[in-house]
Amino acid sequence: MARSFDFVVGGGSIAGLTFAAEAAGRGASVLVVEEHEEIGEPEKCDGLVSLRGLRRFGYLPRPEVIQNQIMAAVVHSPGGKRFAVSASALEVVVLDRSAYDKQVARQAESAGATVRTGARVDGALQSQEAVTVRVGDESMECKYYVDATGPSPALRDGILPAAKYELEGDWVSQRLVDVYLDADLYPGFFAWVIPSGGHRAKVGAAGRGINPFRALDAIIAGKQTTILKRVSAPIYVGGPKGRFVDHRVIFVGESAGQVKPTTAGGIMTSVAGAVSAARWACEGVRRDDPSLLGNYQREWDAVFRKEMSTMARVRGVFEKLSNRDMESVIEMLATPRVVARVSQSDFDFHASALLGALGLSGVLRMARVVGSAEVRSLIQRDPSP
């Protein structure tokens, strides 16, 4: 007879593990199936996150998981202009992402979940009452299947090629994140240097149609550098899916598109999705009522949908900018007033903060510089979530 659980979770990364910890903590029987042999490996993510966001949802990293605290971000224009935004009030840290996933896996196991590595979910077939999940030659029965397997083929339009080096070099700043904009080198995205402690950094590049490793080699050319790790890891910037729940199949984290369209940051938003999904899924089991899962969608939308839609519109403008436009826009942003407002804002709601700081007059001035319909879309009202 097939083994049976309240929840089988496909994918043992941050979304799946948070769901498991939360649901097992509420007394549910949970099996997590992760295709890789070791939780957290291979590590793709750079782990840049605000503690404020994680605290809100109850999944703070332990101190030993934090590699560095970030004091500012420096944005570099294609022509070499720079402006810095202080992050000292924003509680931005760099996590050892692999260690963070292991921390949450231990939390899930202590709460009673089973985490099985080196096994792959090959399919999930739902009926009115249950879901049959195929893992290799085995079949498992569960009340709900939780898809936490990362971006699915259905989200492929939002995926950009990306790669990163973990490296050591005496040129790495200790506490500054560098962001390099260049519409020719990184179309539709940017390159970044995230210091992870000492002289170590995670250096990445992403962009439409680029070879990201070539872009990375250009960034480190002429600099004294030891490359410790090379990782090819596409990023997702396509925005949240319309529906997170399909009857007894629940999507959480990147498989639900719960990722910021501006920066591809998805740790906090995935944790938020998993916590809410687990809460309502456990209620669904307790009251034998799958319709309660609709509250998960509503809860996540109420907090994030509007900001994600603003981020998507900011991204729409950004994608249209030529290098010349970027110089003008950066000049507009690099005023003491805008920089001060953004420095005091919320790391996870940066698009609204930026537009708020620019104000209507700033956006209209930008429309004169860039002149695109996308800029006008920034001053349109958001649809209600």
Ligand X SMILES: Cc1cc2nc3c(=O)[nH]c(=O)nc-3n(C[C@H](O)[C@H](O)[C@H](O)COP(=O)(O)OP(=O)(O)OC[C@H]3O[C@@H](n4cnc5c(N)ncnc54)[C@H](O)[C@@H]3O)c2cc1C
Q: Which of residues 14-53 bind ligand X (CB under 6 A)?
A: 14-16, 33-36, 44-49
> DSSP state, 193?
E
Query: What is the pairing mode between strands 66-69 and 3-10?
Result: unpaired
Q: Which of residues 311-350 bind ligand X (CB under 6 A)?
A: none
CB of 152 to ligand X, least distance (A): 9
Q: How far apart are CA 296 and CA 305, in angstroms?
A: 13
Q: Which residues contact 160 (CB under 8 A, 6 or more apart)?
A: 188, 189, 206, 207, 208, 234, 235, 236, 237, 264
Q: How far apart are CA 231 and CA 186, in angstroms?
A: 17
CB of 94 to ligand X, least distance (A): 8
Closer CB to ligand X, 193 or 375, in the complex: 193
DSSP string for residues in 69-115: E--EEEEE-TTS-EEEEE-TTTTEEEE-HHHHHHHHHHHHHHTT-EE
Closer CB to ligand X, 46 or 182, in the complex: 46
Closer CB to ligand X, 122 or 184, in the complex: 122
User: Binding pattern to ligand X, positions 213-252, x when CB under 6 A?
Assistant: --------------------x-x-----------------
Indicate which single residue of 11, 25, 61, 261 sits in contact with ligand X (rule: CB under 6 A). Answer: 11
| CA atoms in the 13 A half-sphere facing the CB of 260 | 22
> DSSP state, 33?
E
CB of 238 to ligand X, least distance (A): 12
User: Residues 310-320, buried b or exposed e (16+ Cβ, 10 A)?
Assistant: bbbbbbbbbeb
* Among 12-20, 58-66, 83-91, 308-316, the segment contacting ligand X (CB under 6 A): 12-20
Closer CB to ligand X, 48 or 219, in the complex: 48
* DSSP three-state, residue 144: strand
Q: Which residue is nearest to ligand X (CB)?
A: 266
61 backbone dihedrals φ, ψ, rounded to 5° = -70, 150
Closer CB to ligand X, 234 or 327, in the complex: 234
CB of 67 to ligand X, least distance (A): 11
Q: Which of residues 140-199 bind ligand X (CB under 6 A)?
A: 148-150, 162, 164
CB of 252 to ligand X, least distance (A): 7
Closer CB to ligand X, 216 or 259, in the complex: 259
Name which of 246, 286, 78 is nearest 152 in CA terms: 246
Count of residues that interact with ligand X, criterion CB under 6 A: 36
CB of 55 to ligand X, least distance (A): 15
Indicate which single residue of 81, 102, 120, 241 sits in contact with ligand X (rule: CB under 6 A). Answer: 120
Cβ count near 286 (within 10 Å)? 13
Closer CB to ligand X, 231 or 334, in the complex: 231
Q: Which of residues 251-310 bind ligand X (CB under 6 A)?
A: 253-255, 259, 264-267, 270
190, 196, 275 from 45: Cα distances, Å: 16, 12, 20
Residues lying near ligand X in the complex (CB under 6 A) are found at 10-16, 33-36, 44-49, 120-121, 148-150, 162, 164, 204, 233, 235, 253-255, 259, 264-267, 270
